[in-house]
């Protein structure tokens, strides 16, 4: 990786000397040097070369001295590190430079072997700093795509050694489908459909998180949410009721002048399921999710639900009948299930 170095010094012959002493590094494209005669010129060069890694700066210069430049560098180029190269090597100047943020100090006359070692050490530090900043940026982006629960799971000690490990958990799974989007996409511009979908997804996500659940995935115009911990079933139903109520009262104007009134169909099921990473470690494509019959039935219940219906099984009804008002729907034949399943609708 090429190291870009800005040399700031008013000595006219220094540029030629630098190019001679580091000609091999320049030829091998290990170093690239740019030059400035004072601090103000240096700031101009940094604007032209924002990817500069190291500044080698003298102290005593016209227009703007090295210590003043040092104070201006964090604003001009936060990642760039400065090595002061000066004949003023007394302790007062060294302390002033180090307290001002210099990474190191080299005294003139310059020992170029020592200077090369200093450049290598400084470049290594800058590379680590850039890598850390990139990781932070990537992590911030990752948090927009991955639920906080998954990120916390990945932070567990030894996570990388048990990528495909799984565990059996007690949880509740909720599938929420925003009805009518398939037909809407046939008549409305794509940007309109996506904008509406994101708007309603945001409302759903906020309520899921507010009730202690997390988003497992988005699937077209549907959301899969998981609730774990104490009273996970009750919290899941509460979230579903609030989501239904909010979207029932929502409306959005469409480009053709009509209003779109969204509705949701919801399936809820609870019990034991397998939680873990599903996918290919070789391909480095994994999905942290829950799987099992409980999950499958929840999705089938959502598929069977009418708009604004929250459908549960008879087994779930027995657990919540004292807490929620429910009405029987009857036995439903769900896809890939051998026997019909008794179902109920959660009213309130």
d(CA 297, CA 213): 19
CA distances from 19 to 5, 13, 44 (A): 12, 10, 21
Kindly report the backbone phi and psi dihedral angles of residue 12, in degrees, each rounded to the nearest multiple of 5, phi listed first. -65, -35
d(CA 186, CA 69): 60
Question: What's the pLDDT at 51?
Answer: 92
CA-wise closest residue to 146 among 248, 255, 263, 288: 288
Contact (CB, 8 A) for 134 and 83: no
CA-wise closest residue to 236 among 104, 324, 105: 324
Question: What's the pLDDT at 41?
Answer: 95
Kindly report the backbone phi and psi dihedral angles of residue 285, in degrees, each rounded to the nearest multiple of 5, phi listed first. -125, 105
Contact (CB, 8 A) for 148 and 207: no
243-250 contact pairs (CB < 8 A, 24+): 243/176, 243/203, 243/204, 243/207, 243/208, 244/308, 244/310, 246/203, 246/207, 247/178, 247/200, 247/203, 248/308, 250/200, 250/203
CB-side exposure of 291: number of CA atoms within 13 Å?
Answer: 8
Contact (CB, 8 A) for 173 and 226: yes
Question: What's the pLDDT at 59?
Answer: 94
pTM of this prediction exceeds 0.75: no
As a dihedral over the C-alpha atoms of residue 184, residue 188, residue 191, residue 196, rounded to 10 degrees, the angle is -40
Question: What's the pLDDT at 261?
Answer: 84
40-44 contact pairs (CB < 8 A, 24+): 40/64, 41/8, 42/6, 42/8, 42/69, 43/69, 43/72, 43/76
Contact (CB, 8 A) for 28 and 116: no
d(CA 175, CA 217): 10
For tokens 């489908």, what's the residue?
177
d(CA 99, CA 116): 23
- Among the residues of 211-287, which ranges form H helices? 232-248
Q: Parallel, antiparallel, or unpaired for β 341-346 and 326-332?
A: antiparallel
d(CA 160, CA 150): 13
Question: What's the pLDDT at 244?
Answer: 96
For tokens 């009857």, what's the residue?
330
Here the tokens at position 228 are 């774990």
Q: Which residues of the chain have pLDDT under 70?
A: 141-165, 280-286
DSSP H or E run through 126: helix 112-145
């Amino acid at each position: 990786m090429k190291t870009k170095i800005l040399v700031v010094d008013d000595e006219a012959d220094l540029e030629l000397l630098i190019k001679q002493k580091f000609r091999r590094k320049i030829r091998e494209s290990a170093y690239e040097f740019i030059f400035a005669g004072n601090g103000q010129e240096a700031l101009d060069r940094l604007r032209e070369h924002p990817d500069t890694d190291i500044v080698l700066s003298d102290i005593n210069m016209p227009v703007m001295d090295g210590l003043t430049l040092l104070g201006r560098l964090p604003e001009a180029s936060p990642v760039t590190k400065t090595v002061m190269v000066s004949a003023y090597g007394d302790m007062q100047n060294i302390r002033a430079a180090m307290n001002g943020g210099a990474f190191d100090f080299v005294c003139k006359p310059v020992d170029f072997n020592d200077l090369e070692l200093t450049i290598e050490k400084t470049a290594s530090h800058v590379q680590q700093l850039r890598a850390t900043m990139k990781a932070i940026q990537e992590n911030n982006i990752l948090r927009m795509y991955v639920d906080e629960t998954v990120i916390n799971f990945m932070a567990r000690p030894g996570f990388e050694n048990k990528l495909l490990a799984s565990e059996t958990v007690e949880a509740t799974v909720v599938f929420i489908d925003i009805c009518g989007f398939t037909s809407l996409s046939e008549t409305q511009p794509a940007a309109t459909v996506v904008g509406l979908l994101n708007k309603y997804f945001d409302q759903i996500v906020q309520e899921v998180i507010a009730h202690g659940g997390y988003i497992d995935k988005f699937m077209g115009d549907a959301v899969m949410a998981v609730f774990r911990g104490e009273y996970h079933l009750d919290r899941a139903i509460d979230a579903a009721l609030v989501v239904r109520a909010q979207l029932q009262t929502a409306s959005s104007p469409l480009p053709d002048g009509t209003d779109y009134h969204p509705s949701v169909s919801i399936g809820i099921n609870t019990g034991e399921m397998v939680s873990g990473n599903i996918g290919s470690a070789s391909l480095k494509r994994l999905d942290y999710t829950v799987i099992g019959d409980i999950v499958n039935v929840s999705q089938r219940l959502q598929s069977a639900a009418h708009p604004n219906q929250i459908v549960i099984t008879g087994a779930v009804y027995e657990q919540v009948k004292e807490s929620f008002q429910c009405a029987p729907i009857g036995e439903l034949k769900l896809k890939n299930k051998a026997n019909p399943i008794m179902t109920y609708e959660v009213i309130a």
